[in-house]
Amino acid sequence: MNNPQVRPTGTVLFTVVVLVAVLRLAQDIFIPLALAVLLTFLLAPVTGWLQHWRVNRVISVLVSLAMALALIGGLGDVIFGQFSDLAHQLPHYERHLREHIAHLQGFMRGGITDTVDAVERVTGQIEHLTPIASVPVGVQRVQIVQPPATVLEILKDFVGPLVKPLGWALVVMVLVAFMLLRLPDLRERIIRLLGPRNLQATTAALDDAAVRVSRYLLTQLLINSVTGLWVGIGLALLKVPNPGLWGALTLVLRFIPYVGVWTAAAMPFALSFAAFDDWMHPIVVIGIYGTVELFNYAVLEPWLYAAKTGVSPVALLLAAAFWTWLWGLAGLLLSVPITVCLVVMGKYVPQLEFLEVLLGDEPALEPSQQLYQRLLTSNRDEADMLLEAALRQHSLREVCDIAIVPALRLLEADFARGVLKPARRRAVLDQIQQWVDELLEELQRSDGRGALSWQAPSVLCVPAAGQGDAIVARLLAAVLMNRGISARVTALDRVEEEVTTSASAGLEAVVVSALPPEAIPPARAAVKRIRARAQTLPVIVGVWGLEQELDRAAQRLESAGASRMETRVEGCVEQIERLRRTPGAAPPVTPPKVVHGA
């Protein structure tokens, strides 16, 4: 019998293999097309801005293309002009270069150089001992003489290497012009192709991809311009020859991820090595590039990349390697925009959701799943780091609802299904309880709030049954203490005594803590024991994280005498604070109908 999941997976893999093969074999078609789309993303905001000022679309496209060509032409003029000047100056640097190489050879004389010389001597002795094959008598030597190259051959050798890049450039510019002119029509056709039935999702996907890629390219252009400017100024102050050339190359090459900026740095480093007598200039050149890149990484990029590309750093590295293998240098240049588009497709197309999971920068697991996974591996340090990071972003009661309580629910669900052994469950519970105990101790020590746990409690927290219920009860007590409400946790076998003692001292509510899946029966038993001693006391039952059969659970707790059912710690705390603000709102002797929280 065939597995229904095998065929879709095989189809996807076959499709990916065929697609990669087509992209590799037809790269002369797809590379100009991808470059044209990239430039269209870059120039579309400029065209839209001009149209916003009531400029005709054709004129807007022509102005945008003229600006792009002027920028490219200006950079090209600077680069080729500076290169020409550098070519005339290179013979003057030959003496310094020879001296530096001689110094390096002197440093290496005792190691690699001696080894190479020894190998050369042995090779020479072997060649000397090897008999030279004599030429047989009567065999005439033949010497091949190349005829002088014709004009057509010279033109072919000179123009041939330029035909492909110039052809690509012409095709790219024509495609960009037509894409900008027909941009609304192209968008509509893509929507029709991807699925007109889901018009909203397709439109959102296209807009999201356009915004992300355009913002990335414009921001990258700004950062590269600032980097090139500062590099040029720094090299000019250092008196490195042709600083404008190196600044312009830095601006252009920094569009290539990871390796572009250091490729740009290698050339002025080598030139300073040849142009100056000391070693300080080459070191300072590397220091300039390193300082500027560190500033970009730590300050400029986090500030300007307020809206991120949505791609994880690891995915960017893998994408850069893949597209470089597929299309070479052009693939490396296009790797980030293409990966951004793939992530957007995974976000909006359900069949491609795996792309967003694999390539996106959003966490692959929910906070509760991350915490549970760390606890399963007994990695207490990482679990503590997760909780501390969550507490820096959220309040304690929010952390209980988004991380700790859901993690306990996952634990109890696995144990109920039989996939978790009792010893493993107990170890995870012990780790969480240890963290909660440390949290309570810290609360008792800080700001004099420790007295709240020794006063006659305003709220009594009662675990319904097991260790998980007790942990959430202690968490609830910690949240209440953190908000200035005296709370105490008491065991179920002492609940009658505690209720009787505390009721006369101002006890305002009792909260029964119960974790699903086996929550309702022990919670009902606890409520009945409380009602045996206190008929009018508000009793709130926390059935933490319960999502199904809420009405039925509420009815069963109502029949036992519960006043209210809550499913979240935050809702329970809000209800207790509401009771304390309106003391006259205490329930009558006959318990009211149970109201369950969201």
- The reported pLDDT for the residue numbered 204 is 78
Q: Is the pLDDT score of 598 beyond 50? A: no
Side-chain half-sphere CA neighbours of 592 within 13 A: 13
Q: Which of 8-12, 433-437, 472-476, 511-515 shows the lowest per-residue confidence on average (mean pLDDT)?
A: 8-12
Q: Report which of residues 219 and 301 the model is more confident about.
A: 219
Q: Assign 3-class secondary structure to 382-450.
A: HHHHHHHHHHHHCCHHHHHHHHHHHHHHHHHHHHHHCCCCHHHHHHHHHHHHHHHHHHHHHHHHHHHHH
Max mean pLDDT range (38-42, 180-184, 224-228, 446-450): 224-228
> Which pLDDT band holds residue 134 (cuts at 50, 70, 90)?
low
Give, in order, the Cα–Cα distances in Å from 458 to each of 220, 481, 487, 510, 574.
Answer: 58, 10, 6, 9, 14
| Residue 286 pLDDT greater than 80, yes or no | yes
**For helices 422-445 and 467-482, angle between their N-to-C axes, nearest 10 degrees:** 20
- Read off the tokens for 231: 């590099």
> What's the mean per-residue pLDDT of the chain?
78
Region 583-590 average pLDDT? 43
Say whether pTM exceeds 0.75. Answer: no
Q: Return the pLDDT at 102.
A: 62
pLDDT, mean of residues 270-281: 79
Predicted local confidence at residue 7, as pLDDT: 46
Q: Tokens 């069963």 — which residue?
A: 556
C-alpha–C-alpha distance, residues 396 and 476, integer Å: 10
Angle between helices 367-376 and 422-445 (to 10 degrees): 110
Write down the H helix ranges in 239-299: 243-253, 260-275, 280-295
pLDDT at res. 450: 46
Position 91 pLDDT exceeds 80 = no
Provide, rounded to the nearest whole percent, the portion of the chain with pLDDT above 70.
Answer: 78
* Cα angle for residues 47, 52, 56 (degrees, 5° grid): 65
Q: What is the mean pLDDT of residues 374-397?
A: 85
Residue 42, burial from CB neighbour count under 10 angstroms (0-12, 13-18, 19+): buried
Where does CATH 3.40.50.280 sit in the chain? 370-596
Reported as a pLDDT band with limits 50, 70 and 90, residue 166 is confident
Q: What is the pLDDT of residues 227-269, one digit of tens each?
A: 999 999 999 998 888 888 888 888 888 888 778 888 888 888 8
5 pLDDT more than 50:
no
Alpha-carbon distances of 315 from 99, 347, 358, 397, 566, rounded to whole Å = 45, 15, 7, 34, 42
The pLDDT value given to residue 588: 37
Q: pLDDT per residue over 6-31, tens digit each?
A: 445 667 678 878 888 998 888 888 88
Fold topology of 370-596:
Rossmann fold (3.40.50)
Pick the residue with more confidence: 101 or 46?
46
Q: What is the pLDDT of residue 146?
A: 62
**Which residues have a Cβ under 8 Å from the Cβ of 175 and sit 6 or more positions away?**
32, 33, 36
Both tokens of 569, joined, read 């710690």
Task: Measure the CA angle with vertex 66, ends 65 and 70; round to 5°.
Answer: 120
Higher pLDDT, 196 or 576: 576
